A and B are shown apart, each in its own frame.
Chain A
């Protein structure tokens, strides 16, 4: 049996140390969740963890490499190029569906600016962290590649999520299935606007606060409405899969299946932030009168 002689003990007692570490971790958690501000601690730890993480993913990479050897080299390159091309083309095509559905005349009346062409960066999904408390993936591009917080991540089918944390070489994407992560959407069929939120389960989203008699059918496609100024309009988000309208509740329970999935392919596109969004009224802006004018036009 091991003994701990009293004179080898140094520093404060166990309880004092426990209180110290509990307070410290609570402080860190509050700073991380409430204020989204951790002055470089997380980045520093990430530098230490990154090589270990790469080591953990080494076997999968070896497997990928070996399985790649069996295919001829040129073919591999060609396929990779075509895939990239395909992804870029799909990214541009995604907007088409909504373009058809949108009322162009209304846009002219509102004198909206022509939609800016979204630029995009391609990135690879490096890790899918095993945290059971959140739905996230890690991408292999970070602030050194010009990635910014809040950028939208899509695959060739639709929206995957949003960049919520950046490291120099990596960035973390919060998936749209993460609990309470919401995306403003619009029904393609009739233009009904709403919000689709994750409930923390893979492959399930929820349309909240829609009246029980709202015009929604199974199989309706939801695309981003673009009114938030973060998600570009017209990106497919989800498809309605189940509608339960119980008359005892004022809202219908509408379940959707996300259009895109992270387990489908490793390449994703990070869309550049939308450039020409008027500032939200009420925030400190340099040109208040202009914003007010725009706000009035929007209300008509």
Chain B
């Protein structure tokens, strides 16, 4: 997508576009892991989490276009209706784009509830489309993934920076 590739417009960051793509691919693999039962229930939507992370920290590169495309990949991987994840990720990315300056004010632990709400917004969009296309409605506990995703948020900067030697933008969070 154009938003990932626009690396020449990015003097601020030292994060490679390839690195972002690679991290999103890893998130996609994590999302497709064959889990069952409680593990499946609590497994956060890693793609949503990482899309959120990049749209907050690198809004010029990862934005709605990239989120939309990742959503399409998830749609195929999850065998859901084509466009369902794409819609929810773009909406989530939009809200993140509006909020990313405000989020920076808070410490990473205070960001947790806001991130959980952002993830919840994506899930609610999915639920809404699910109702519209008359699909199976999941149990309420599928919303737990947002909570676990939010709780994972403080660890995310560390996890993302493990393969990087330098901190991408030390004052972003």
Contact = CB atoms under 8 A, between A and B. Distances in A.
Contacts, number: 157
Interface residues on A, range: 35 or more
B149 to A, nearest CB: 14
A42 B87 contact: no
B86 A49 contact: no
Describe B's contact surface by its main secondary structure. helix
Interface string A34-46: 0000100110011
Contact of B82 (A32, A53, A133, A180): A32
Interface residues of B, number: 61
Max count, chain B CB within 10 A of own CB: residue among A14, A28, A48, A133: A133
B142 A132 contact: yes
A28 B82 contact: yes
Contacts of A209: none
Contacts of A38: 82
A24 interface: yes
A28 B71 CA distance: 12
Contacts of B158: none
Contact of B84 (A29, A59, A128, A200): A29
Given A45-B73, A52-B28, A131-B80, A2 B57 contact: yes
B138 A132 contact: yes
A156 B30 CA distance: 32
Nearest to B84: A29
A10 interface: yes
A141 interface: no
B124 interface: no
A4 B35 CA distance: 40
B81 interface: yes
B136 A132 contact: yes
B71 to A, nearest CB: 7
Interface of B: 2, 6, 9-10, 12, 25, 28-35, 40, 57, 59-60, 63-65, 67-68, 71-73, 75-84, 86-87, 90-91, 94, 97-98, 100-101, 104-105, 126, 129-130, 133-139, 142, 169, 171-172
19 contacts: A2-B172, A18-B64, A21-B64, A21-B65, A21-B67, A29-B81, A29-B84, A32-B81, A38-B82, A41-B82, A42-B82, A48-B73, A52-B29, A55-B29, A57-B32, A131-B78, A134-B79, A165-B79, A179-B135
